[in-house]
Chains A and B, each alone.
Chain A
Amino acid sequence: MKLKEILKETRRAFRLFRIFAAQHLKKLMEYKIDFVTGAFAFLIEQVVNLAFLAVIFGGVESLKGWDYYEILFIYGFSLFPKGLDHLFCDNLWNVSYWMMRKGEFDKYLTRPINPLLTVTVEVFQVDALGELIVGVALMIYSLRHIDLPFVWYDIPVALVTILFGMLIYTSIKIIFTSIAFWTKRSGHLLEMAYSMNSFSKYPTGIYSRTVRNFVTYVVPYAFTAYFPASYLLRHTNPFFSIFGTVIAGCVLMTISLLIWHKGLSVYESAGS
């Protein structure tokens, strides 16, 4: 009975997502050129970052034991959780920056759907395709130069860690968006927390101990890329890399939902 209800709810969520995504795509078609240039911009940004890596590896053979192609692989991997969260949960930025303050958040409360679910499905941010395309390209390119100790279950491991990596991103965004329930605006705090994701793309060995512990245990961005990717590359620390990612995702998601619901219960509209 319980399971059946959950299944029904999930199906409903997917159906809603399809409807909202179609709606959003129609809006994008209104500004076609704008949307294409937007996705192109994200692509260029990634290319510039890659040129930077190429310059660095023009001077050195390896970075703390990781060679150019391995770093590219980690970088490519990092774009999947980040890009997926960007694709599906970008609307949280709007909520934290201005929707609460202008009272527009109220519209989610008047609908017979979970507010958090509506917030996330309402925007289907196609710009993220820029990141995802670069991610795929990097994976393919780097794998041609790497001797991967590949076994069949690496594929489900990759998928699961990408999914939970995405949850880490989304949870962090929900936590910092929720602050706006109390303060009406939290976009700037979210900005700060989100920008720490730059730490995820490089081997944690390059950081000082404090920074390393911080991005592993406090704001666990290291689990969105470096740990799972390093497992896939060398099969080292399987337990820590895989379960660490899953646990970090679950713990953060739980915390974020608790804070979100607490915030929702104290929310007072700001609109006139």
Chain B
Amino acid sequence: MNLLKKTRKFLKTYLPFTRAGIQMATAYRSNFIAWFAGELMYCFVMYYVWRAVFNSSGSGTFSGFTLIDMTVFLFATAITNNITGSDGSYDVGEEIKDGNIAMRLIKPVSFNSTFLFTELGWKILSASLLFVPIMTGIEVYKYFACGKIMFNAAAFALYLLSLLLSYLFSFYMNLCFGFMAFFLKNLWGFNMLKTSILKFLSGAVIPLAFMPAALQKTLEWLPFASLSYTPVMIYMNKYTGAETVLRLGMQTVWVIFFYLLSRIILSAAMRHVTVQGG
């Protein structure tokens, strides 16, 4: 009973942030649709490159991937990255830089959760405008490429679970990164650097399966594969049952780790915070 009351109060406090997020996202929808269209363009280029590779190599598989696998991988990775991507580090960095953070800190709500719930609003909109059509597109492609329905409900359900964990990990990790602005004041360059390094570490450009064995092992144990590689592999049914459980477990551990880390950094930073401007 008490828990129910608490949950109600929690939702009453934070759902307005989600609503605001949806409204903001609606205003900027042409922006993020166009942004994603650019990502799709890249997928198409990569598709043609892989097609040429498969044609000239003469063998049907390449590190365990067929051309159909590769195509699914490219588009599923693009949409997964879109959903798990978090602008937390940028938003926090900007607020620290322009001093708006003060307005957020004086309110009786959790600093981290307000960001989380606002961004969830964005995610709800981009899921309905991008995720659903792209996923449908991928399934239709698989149907025509394989000649039968390939949809695997269990794999898809596990994928959604993994996607949620990926997003939470991405959110808290980006938040920790954004807190660096307390000390550095300007994060633009570091954000660019982070994006390009994560692209590599997450296996979005080169699937981890194509990397040298030692590097692949290392990257699989690092948390960053969680950003797109782990969920996509689960979606594509490339993991055995035990492996899937292990990966989901690791994702959970990393979410908890970065959640705690973000709280520790925030409370440490609060003792040093200086607001510039305002």
Contacts of B63 in A (CB 8 A): 59
Say which one of A28-36, A111-119, A141-149, A253-261 lies at the interface with B.
Answer: A28-36
The A83-136 residues at the B interface (CB cut-off 8 A) are 127
Contact residues, A54-79 vs B (CB, 8 A): 55-56, 59-64
Number of interface residues of B (CB under 8 A): 38
Complex Cα distance, B35 from A48, in Å, reads 21
- A43: nearest chain-B partner, CB-CB: B196
Task: Identify the closest chain B residue to A207 (Cβ).
Answer: B48
Chain B residues near A64: list those with CB within 8 A: 52, 56
Q: Among residues 197 to 213 in chain A, which have CB atoms less than 8 Å away from a CB atom of chain B?
A: 198-199, 201-202, 205-208, 211
Main secondary structure, interface of A, reads helix
| In-complex Cβ contact of B186 among A31, A60, A199, A211 (8 A) | A31
* Nearest neighbor of B187 in chain A, beta-carbon distance: A34
Q: How far is the CA of A51 from the CA of B55 in the complex (A)?
A: 21
The answer, among A35, A61, A189, for a CB contact under 8 Å with B56, is A61
A38 to B192, CA, bound (A): 6
Given contacts A188-B31, A202-B45, contact A51 B200 (CB under 8 A): yes
Q: How many residues of A contact B (CB 8 A)?
A: 42
B49 contacts A206, C-beta separation under 8 Å: yes
Whether the Cβ atoms of A198 and B205 lie closer than 8 Å is: no
Q: Which chain A residue shows the least CB distance to B50?
A: A56
Does B196 contact A206, Cβ atoms closer than 8 Å? no
Chain A 180-202 interface residues, beta-carbon cutoff 8 Å to B:
187-189, 191-192, 194-196, 198-199, 201-202
Interface stretch (choices B36-44, B76-84, B144-152, B266-274): B36-44
Known A34-B186, A206-B51: A62·B200 in contact at CB below 8 Å = no
Identify 21 residue pairs between A and B in the complex whose beta-carbon atoms are under 8 Å apart, listed by A's number: A38-B192, A40-B193, A41-B192, A41-B193, A44-B197, A44-B200, A45-B199, A48-B206, A51-B200, A59-B53, A64-B52, A187-B31, A188-B30, A188-B31, A192-B34, A192-B37, A195-B38, A198-B42, A206-B52, A207-B48, A211-B48
Residues of chain A whose beta carbon lies under 8 Å from any beta carbon of chain B: 31, 33-38, 40-42, 44-45, 48-49, 51-52, 55-56, 59-64, 127, 187-189, 191-192, 194-196, 198-199, 201-202, 205-208, 211
Q: Rank and list the top 3 A-B pairs by shortest CB-CB distance, nearest first.
A: A195-B38, A37-B189, A188-B34
